[in-house]
Amino acid sequence: MVRYAYYPGCVAEGSGREYEMANRAVAARLGLELVEIEDWNCCGATPGHNTGHLLGLALPARNLALASGMGLDLVAPCAACYNRLVTAQREIACDPELQVLMGRLLGRDYHGDRRVLSMVEAVAAVGAERMKALTVRPLEGITVACYYGCLLVRPPAVIRGDDPEDPRLLDDLLRGVGATTVDWAHKTECCGAAQALPHEEVVLSRVRRILEAAVTFRADCIATACPLCHANLDQRQARVNRRFGTDYRMPVLYFTQLLGLAFGLNPGELGLGLHFVPTAELVRRIA
């Protein structure tokens, strides 16, 4: 059993509830103990660092300090949370004066000395052999377009675990349980992120291009590890269809949901009934 300090983030009980369900279920099957950080706080996301640079560092720094106090490496499933945590950790580590300031702001000594992993990295660290041994329903015949988005792999000066232009970690994980993944140019194209609120037209146009590319490559579904990307690609798919007269019906799943199906887990415990675009037909093909 490998133990991690677990930072669920604000979406875990809201728009990303199905991701949280799948993460917990798959982690248990893999022998990963996710110990939720007590009294964790919002990482600040985009509003934090847009409000003020220091605030954008202090909010994730508090979570880093709490994880350090637990003596455990930290896992953040949300790509945006992961990005903010790693960004703050690296910037503070390079500035001793900032480390002292963080201690004063947080009311505790700041130590950001534990590794920060995305959920993708934590799962991949289990190893291909273990994943293969757990696979009872291989994803054979299922073609997946792995969508990384921006924050899981960029900027390269901060996020160093995968190729920022042609990442492969998600592809490797899903191929390891039998899926076919497509080699497409849109895997790191921005979906528009939180611009969906002030500039919805921009987001709908971006989402349309991503969906069209997935259809062109004859993907059966899109897999992601980012709740914000999932919201745009899944929840806004109907709005894209109304705006552009298209008829996309592309299931968008979290990568842990697909792994959970391969491991024989029940679709209900993976949150597969909570999507806007139905997943039942895809689940039927796997099960």
Nearest Cα neighbor of 219 from 229, 211, 227 is: 211
* Sheet containing 221-224, strands listed edge to edge, beginning at the edge strand earlier in sequence: 180-181, 143-147, 221-224, 252-254
127 occurs within a structural domain: no
Structural domain harbouring 104: 2-119
User: What is the 3-class SS of 3-31, one letter each residue?
Assistant: EEEECCCHHHHCCCHHHHHHHHHHHHHHC
Q: How far apart are CA 287 and CA 132, in angstroms?
A: 17
pTM of the full predicted structure?
A: 0.96
Write down the pLDDT at residue 161: 76
Percent of the chain residues past pLDDT 70, beyond the cut: 100
Task: Looking at the structure, tell me whether residues 234 and 107 fall in a common domain.
Answer: no
Q: What is the DSSP letter of 232?
A: I
Q: Looking at residue 30, which CATH number applies to its domain?
A: 1.20.1050.140
Task: Looking at the structure, tell me whether residues 195 and 233 fall in a common domain.
Answer: yes
Q: Looking at residue 153, which CATH number applies to its domain?
A: 3.40.50.11810
Retrieve residue 201's tokens: 């037209």
Task: Looking at the structure, tell me whether residues 160 and 211 fall in a common domain.
Answer: yes
103 contacts 149 by C-beta, under 8 angstroms: no
147 contacts 171 by C-beta, under 8 angstroms: no
Task: Looking at the structure, tell me whether residues 148 and 48 fall in a common domain.
Answer: no
Task: Looking at the structure, tell me whether residues 63 and 166 fall in a common domain.
Answer: no
| Averaged pLDDT for residues 203-223 | 97
| Averaged pLDDT for residues 19-25 | 98
Task: Looking at the structure, tell me whether residues 150 and 274 fall in a common domain.
Answer: yes
| pLDDT tens-digit series, residues 89-143 | 999 999 999 999 999 999 988 888 999 999 999 999 999 999 999 999 999 999 9
Task: Looking at the structure, tell me whether residues 96 and 161 fall in a common domain.
Answer: no
271 occurs within a structural domain: yes
Write down the pLDDT at residue 122: 97
Task: Looking at the structure, tell me whether residues 15 and 87 fall in a common domain.
Answer: yes
| Averaged pLDDT for residues 151-158 | 90
262 occurs within a structural domain: yes
Write b or e for each residue in 8-28: b if 16 or more Cβ atoms lie within 10 A of its Cβ, otherwise e.
bbbbbeebbebbbbbbbbbbe
Write down the pLDDT at residue 48: 66
Burial of 74 per CB tally in 10 Å (0-12, 13-18, 19+): buried
| pLDDT tens-digit series, residues 224-267 | 999 999 999 999 999 999 999 999 999 999 999 999 999 999 99
- Choose one of 119, 145, 176: the last residue of a domain: 119
Query: Taking all residues of the chain, what is their mean pLDDT, rounded to a whole number?
Result: 94
How many domains in the chain?
A: 2
Higher-confidence residue of 48 and 149: namely 149
Task: Looking at the structure, tell me whether residues 281 and 160 fall in a common domain.
Answer: yes
Write down the pLDDT at residue 1: 86
130 occurs within a structural domain: no
| Averaged pLDDT for residues 36-53 | 85
Task: Looking at the structure, tell me whether residues 45 and 80 fall in a common domain.
Answer: yes
| pLDDT tens-digit series, residues 157-194 | 888 778 989 999 999 999 999 999 999 999 999 999 87
224 contacts 254 by C-beta, under 8 angstroms: yes
Task: Looking at the structure, tell me whether residues 155 and 274 fall in a common domain.
Answer: yes
Chain centroid to CA 169 = 12
